[in-house]
Structure 1
């Protein structure tokens, strides 16, 4: 397979990133909670799939899980990024309630003048016969598009690692629903700021670099 980019042949390719099906359901693969995953060399096509799953029931009343992944793809012709958080609460009562929390943060960096991007980001919370369940799923996806390859430096990775640690603490906390959602949004805002600062120092090109944030929260206290 040739790694040389083909000339643009249609108006569709005049945009650097074409986002398709942002709210499509489903995700494959389990996330590994590592601060950075970087490709060794530019890939022609890249795929990232991260998922976090939690389940609480009358046997195990509390299950809280989170993931925080960074995927650095370099220059690609096409990319698929899937991020999903699933939380399930089963068979608890008002007097014997359960707590199920799943939070997934996914960061994807990619470069190119006409990259086709399929980004999927979804949070799903389900209560099954569980009047006393506190069930929350939150998916946060950050897509960084630059004309030239961007490598996150040590300072940026350190700031992201600190946010990751605080996400771990938040997920395992007993914070009320409203507070948990607010604090998760605040952490996402910090990630956005860190990435925008990194983009401002990125190699320049004809296209303007962007950071897109996709957020999907579902569940408690909505159930």
Structure 2
């Protein structure tokens, strides 16, 4: 019995209490620099949209930005919770569904108020083939940052955690891309931006069980 106690004492002797808010600081240290890398990458490859001054006056620009920012925020908060052994996804899926539902209402409303001959432009635009891929590209630095943070945590549902971390990265990448994208169709954003975000979520669900194992 004494030997067992000695072994336990040896194992816990060097343990130190985790500083308060350490996980939050790790997320900030992982996500914010990664987001900056994505922004620099976007500026280096694409640059800001050429009509930025006019775009800032358009409600559709800010709706597009808010859609991505809200999805990213909801996913980051859920990933923060899932990084703990006793964490859960919370209300991420209801919140995400509500955000997508509101965007769907906005997209359908724009279609209903527009002439039928503009539907193709509003839905397909001129960049549908490469929009999701560029979002995926700009999401990768944030995805790497998220994985770095979560590997230092203790998630238990690795596939779900990877998926939500991927959604957070994808939405952050979509927000970055929105500063270049000249598409003003809300149906375009709903379909093609969401596809790019989902692709990053799928990547997270595939890599989560491998990268987050502890």
* Superposition TM-score, scaled by structure 1 size: 0.30
Q: If each structure's helix is expressed as a fraction of its own residues, which one has the higher value?
A: 2
Higher strand share: 1
Q: Which structure has the higher relative contact order (CA within 8 Å, separation 6+)?
A: 2
Larger Rg: 2
